[in-house]
Amino acid sequence: MGFWSRRKGVTDDIKETPDNCLNKYEEGKPVLPVEEPEKSTKKLKIPLNKTTSDVKYILKTIFFPCPICSEINTVDLSELDPIMGGETMCVHCQVVLHIPGGYLTHSEVPKLKVYAGLPVAVRKFPLFYWNHPVINDLEQQGITRIIIQYGLWGFCQRCHHQFSPAVLINLPHTSGEIVDYRSLSSEEMNEMKSLRAGCCPYCSHRILLVIISDVPHYVISASENLAHRWEED
Ligand SMILES: [Zn+2]
Ligand SMILES: [Zn+2]
């Protein structure tokens, strides 16, 4: 989809972790599984993603006002995956947008929304994530792991590099917390180290654009078939 070509060239130029993003990960630390924070802790009130459900169809295209700048965006339905939907950028204000696949398949349309990215400081991401009502809801249903496949998108606000949900959900609350690096690829490990120090590994920007969306029922019922898609390039 257009979004990917629009952001191309930004991440390609900048590969090295910048010096000003100090790496606080210590090699000698023992590796243990990450523990989820206490479920009984008081939930913080956090800002939620801005959304729009004002989505109209013209033939094979949908159009909707950007939840941030209200300018009209159009998306060709052929660019959407029936389950995963698609991500694009507002052509006017460049915010990241998530469009659920139900708009293509006409599933659960009255409940669907287009989501706009919310700026969240890298360091505040764990606090944001673990206090998010959608995540609390998935926890109560016992299906938190679905978030690896659907419902969480995180991009660097400046270079638009997309971080994998596996990296984001494993970011520890405090710099002293121990992280299990074994489940991560070497690229993800590198990203984790930089994000732990509070910044993007590619451009050292300190703010993410995050989307946490409701998980539609058609995604939950398809989730068993989704695992392989996640590995597709
Ligand atoms: Zn916009
Ligand atoms: Zn960046």
**What's the mean pLDDT when you consider all of the chain?**
83
Ligand with minimal distance to 15 CA: 2
CB 172 within 8 A of CB 181: no
Q: Does residue 218 share a domain with residue 169? A: yes
What single-letter amino acid sits at 216? P
Q: Is the pLDDT of residue 25 over 60?
A: no
Dihedral angle at the C-alpha atoms of 213, 214, 218, 219, nearest 10 degrees? 50
- Looking at the domain assignment, is residue 167 inside a domain? yes
Q: How far apart are CA 104 and CA 112, in angstroms?
A: 11
Query: What distance lies between CA 52 and its chain's CA centroid?
Result: 18
Ligand with minimal distance to 69 CA: 1
**Residue among 7, 213, 206, 214 nearest 90 (CA):** 7
Domain end residue (candidates: 88, 116, 144) = 116
Q: Is the pLDDT of residue 7 over 60?
A: no
**For the chain, percent of residues with pLDDT exceeding 70:** 74
CA of 57 to the centre of ligand 1 (A): 19
- Looking at the domain assignment, is residue 145 inside a domain? yes
Total domains present in the chain: 2
- Looking at the domain assignment, is residue 39 inside a domain? no
What single-letter amino acid sits at 80? L
In the beta sheet, which residues pair with residue 88? 97
Neighbours of ion ligand 2 (CB under 5 A): 156, 158-159, 200, 202-203, 205
Q: Does residue 144 share a domain with residue 81? A: no
Q: Does residue 107 share a domain with residue 139? A: no
Residue 172 banded pLDDT, cuts 50, 70, 90: confident
Containing domain of residue 100, as a range? 51-116
Q: Is the pLDDT of residue 116 over 50?
A: yes
- Looking at the domain assignment, is residue 214 inside a domain? yes
Q: Is the pLDDT of residue 10 over 90?
A: no
Can you state the percent helix, strand and coil of the chain, rounding each to 5?
Answer: 30, 20, 50
Question: What local confidence, expressed as pLDDT, does residue 20 receive?
Answer: 55
Question: What local confidence, expressed as pLDDT, does residue 42 receive?
Answer: 62
CA of 17 to the centre of ligand 2 (A): 10
Question: What local confidence, expressed as pLDDT, does residue 45 receive?
Answer: 85
Check residue 62 and report its DSSP letter: E
Tokens of 199: 């910044």
CA of 210 to the centre of ligand 1 (A): 15
What interface predicted TM-score (ipTM) does this complex get? 0.96
Ligand with minimal distance to 71 CA: 1
Domain end residue (candidates: 80, 100, 116) = 116
Ligand with minimal distance to 93 CA: 1
CB 138 within 8 A of CB 68: no
Question: What local confidence, expressed as pLDDT, does residue 185 receive?
Answer: 83
Domain end residue (candidates: 95, 116, 137) = 116
Q: Is the pLDDT of residue 18 over 80?
A: no
Q: Does residue 129 share a domain with residue 233? A: yes
pLDDT tens-digit map of 38-81: 544 566 789 999 999 999 999 999 999 999 999 999 999 999 99
Question: What local confidence, expressed as pLDDT, does residue 159 receive?
Answer: 95
